[in-house]
A and B are shown apart, each in its own frame.
Chain A
Amino acid sequence: QKEVEQNSGPLSVPEGAIASLNCTYSDRGSQSFFWYRQYSGKSPELIMFIYSNGDKEDGRFTAQLNKASQYVSLLIRDSQPSDSATYLCAVNIRGSARQLTFGSGTQLTVLP
């Protein structure tokens, strides 16, 4: 089992819909979780991070953590074509000296 897993997609949603991206992690002791967005040909950009103490909302983005089921999700409300990108989940795996472990990413396409 990979330490951080994401459905590679592609995930397609119509413009204006809610896009839901999920990520599962193997280490129950993980306490920090990150979402990065990567446009084709560009480097990843940090868009959200949460710690184990709760969910977080920032504009159209909401990151939610389900510790019991060991998954973290990213919701994008009112999806726009400009949200089309690959979304990378990253988790601080316990014992990794605060090094982030990345999932392989989910490709999102928002259809106009």
Chain B
Amino acid sequence: GAVVSQHPSWVICKSGTSVKIECRSLDFQATTMFWYRQFPKQSLMLMATSNEGSKATYEQGVEKDKFLINHASLTLSTLTVTSAHPEDSSFYICSARSNSYEQYFGPGTRLTVT
């Protein structure tokens, strides 16, 4: 299967700071990337969909000014959590899709805001 990487795998930051998470498709070009959030023992929650070179589409209830998404190339998308607060602590997972329907997930980034 296709390989998607994320960096960092875990991060601890102080409340009020911003954190950037990178998602890369290593062996294919991802025309679309997705960002999910998952709280403990809960299901995946789609936050936004990004297409290379265009603005991301955010799901209802997700603040676009707080979760900045940039999909500048066919292999890289970034999620920046701005002014993070403890309630933003979660497991953030990206996935990437080429021209087919299959989505491949990155390993996830565990964010802890203190």
Contact = CB atoms under 8 A, between A and B. Distances in A.
A43 B101 contact: no
Interface string A31-65: 01010100001111110010000000000000000
Contacts of B105: 36, 43-46
A102 B108 contact: no
Interface residues of B, number: 18
A100 B101 contact: yes
B102 A34 contact: yes
SS of B interface (majority): strand
Contacts of A12: none
Contacts of A45: 105
A20 interface: no
Interface in B69-94: 91, 93
B104 A102 contact: no
Given A44-B44, A46-B102, A88-B44, A99 B107 contact: no
B1 A102 contact: no
B37 to A, nearest CB: 12
Given A98-B101, A99-B49, A100-B103, 10 more contacts: A34-B102, A43-B91, A43-B105, A43-B106, A44-B44, A46-B105, A49-B101, A92-B101, A98-B97, A102-B44
29 contacts: A34-B101, A34-B103, A36-B105, A41-B91, A42-B108, A43-B93, A43-B106, A43-B107, A43-B108, A44-B44, A44-B93, A45-B105, A46-B103, A46-B104, A46-B105, A49-B101, A88-B43, A88-B44, A90-B103, A92-B101, A98-B97, A99-B49, A100-B101, A100-B103, A102-B43, A102-B44, A102-B46, A104-B43, A105-B43
Interface of B: 1, 32, 34, 43-44, 46, 49, 91, 93, 97, 101-108
Interface of A: 32, 34, 36, 41-46, 49, 88, 90, 92, 98-100, 102-105
